[in-house]
């Protein structure tokens, strides 16, 4: 069945449809030996498509998994330091998966991996405001003034954070636990927010992404999302 070229490129996880359209206008997409044009359609079963000199293969079956990431793993596909990668934990899956967003090396919890480039682009885009909830353990006491600051927005060196939501507070010895919900994805955002308030994060774990929860999934384990869960994800974007 014929599809628009930008859709085929996005389905292969190479780029968003918008980026694919740019590649087409720049002459980086070749259809059956001829530079492609916007509006061209193709069928991977019969047509040859080259994207940046590489052949576009038939799209793999789309799969998205929910992983309970342990600490001590990087969320990148390649690491120059040779550290363990989250993709090592899903190596049994034949499709080549990549993370949707990132969790820091020492951050654990819910991480989605997929080969669906279009889904990844949308879930990662800040305009869709997908809520992500973290369990945070800090050294010290989270005061009412600090809570107000988090819920108003904290000034960081790259701008003011969007209002967050604080819930489920409790103190254990010299540490304070709470849940923090944000929809942004700034680098080390929660750790920097806490540092700005004079708090040191001892443990950070993502426990919820949109409507998806870790539930009783063990650390280092993963499960494949159902079609119903994928549809719910798509509804929030």
The pair of structure tokens assigned to 58 is: 């038939």
Neighbours of 223 (CB within 10 A): 12
Of residues 104, 131, 157, 158, which has the active-site annotation?
A: 104
| Cβ partners under 8 Å of residue 95, min gap 6 | 60, 61, 63, 115
Does the active-site annotation cover 47?
A: no
Beta bridge partners of 179: 135, 167
Q: Quick one: 95 exposed, middle or buried, by C-beta within 10 A (0-12, 13-18, 19+)?
A: middle
Strands 159-160 and 155-156: antiparallel
Catalytically active residues are 104
């Amino acid at each position: 069945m014929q599809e628009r070229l930008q859709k085929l490129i996005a389905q292969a996880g190479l780029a968003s449809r918008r980026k694919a359209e740019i590649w087409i206008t720049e002459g980086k997409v070749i259809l059956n030996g001829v530079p492609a044009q916007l509006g061209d359609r193709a069928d991977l079963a019969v047509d040859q498509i080259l994207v940046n000199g590489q052949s576009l293969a038939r799209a793999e079956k789309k799969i998205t998994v929910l992983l309970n990431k342990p600490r001590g793993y990087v969320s990148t596909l390649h690491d120059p330091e040779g550290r363990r990668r989250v993709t090592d934990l899903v190596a049994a899956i034949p499709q080549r998966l990549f993370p949707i967003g990132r969790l820091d090396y020492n951050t654990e919890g819910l991480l989605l991996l997929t080969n669906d480039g279009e889904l990844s682009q949308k879930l990662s885009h800040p305009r869709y405001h997908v809520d992500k909830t973290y369990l945070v353990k800090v050294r010290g006491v989270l005061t009412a003034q600090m809570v107000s600051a988090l819920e108003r927005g904290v000034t960081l060196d790259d701008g003011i954070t969007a209002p967050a939501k604080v819930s489920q507070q409790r103190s254990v010895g010299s540490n304070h636990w709470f849940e923090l919900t944000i929809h942004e994805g700034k680098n080390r955002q929660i750790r920097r927010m806490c540092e700005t308030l004079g708090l040191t994060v001892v443990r950070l774990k993502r426990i919820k992404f949109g409507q998806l929860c870790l539930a009783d999934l063990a650390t280092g384990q993963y499960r494949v999302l159902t079609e119903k869960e994928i549809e719910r994800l798509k509804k929030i974007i």
